[in-house]
Amino acid sequence: MPQMTKARLEFFSDGVMAILITIMVLELRAPAEPTLSALLHTAPEFLTYAISFLVIAIIWVNHYPLIHAARAQTARLVWSNFYLLFWMSFVPFVTEFTGRDYREPLAVALYGLDLFLCTSGFYFLRMELIRQSRDDMTLVKYHNGIQRRSAFAAALYLLSVPLAYLTIYASFAIFVLLPALYFLPEKTVAGE
């Protein structure tokens, strides 16, 4: 595989994330009538968009230091990044589906499943950083700590899938809670 530079990997990823946000906002429709009632009717679509926008923003903010922490641009790093971007590319679809059919368990479950798969992409990226840092126990400990937090988030997103069939409100609580926990970028360690 030809060597890919960090900058190239970042620029491509930034471009994909920008396109995803653009697609999502283009799916938002103004109310048919200029009334408060019609505006309130669009609230589920707007709120789902806002959650998805925040999720993509959090991924984007944390993606840059993650890629910069890599010591080498390995095939594992590149393909883990593509795995993350693949699942992120479904965010506009599940956002529209869930915003439009927010009372339907299938729509809510697919939204949770896609967010789980996006979280797993970050997990795989970080696994490559752990592999590259195995000679520095401080970095390994740091990355393992973040991996535990990612595993917790992934487990909650995965839990939102069956919960959607019991109560969509529990799934939506997870969708709001997790971005709130990740709002600030990850702390870095010296040397990263």
Q: What is the pLDDT of residues 46-56, one digit of tens each?
A: 999 999 999 99
- pTM for this one? 0.89
Residue 1 domain-assigned (yes or no): no
State mean pLDDT over 132-151.
89
Range of the domain at 48: 6-181
Look at residue 192 and tell me whether its pLDDT is greater than 50: no
> Dihedral, CA atoms, 144, 147, 148, 154, nearest 10 degrees?
-170
Residue 147 domain-assigned (yes or no): yes
Q: Among 62-76, 131-145, 146-160, 175-189, where is mean pLDDT lowest?
A: 175-189
Residue 114 domain-assigned (yes or no): yes
Residue 46 domain-assigned (yes or no): yes
Q: pLDDT category, 168, cuts 50, 70, 90?
A: very high
**Tokens found for residue 75:** 């095939």
Residue of 122, 118, 112 lying closest to 162 (CA atoms): 112
CA dist 171 and 82 (Å) reads 27
- State the SS3 of 87-124: HHCCHHHHHHHHHHCCCCHHHHHHHHHHHHHHHHHHHH
DSSP states of 20-73 as a string? HHHHHHHH----SSSSHHHHHHTHHHHHHHHHHHHHHHHHHHHHHHHHHH-SS-
Q: pLDDT category, 66, cuts 50, 70, 90?
A: confident
Look at residue 177 and tell me whether its pLDDT is greater than 90: yes
Look at residue 62 and tell me whether its pLDDT is greater than 90: no
Which whole-number Å values give the CA distances from 174 to 75, 117, 158, 192, in the listed order? Answer: 33, 15, 10, 31
Number of independent structural domains in the chain: 1
Residue 73 domain-assigned (yes or no): yes
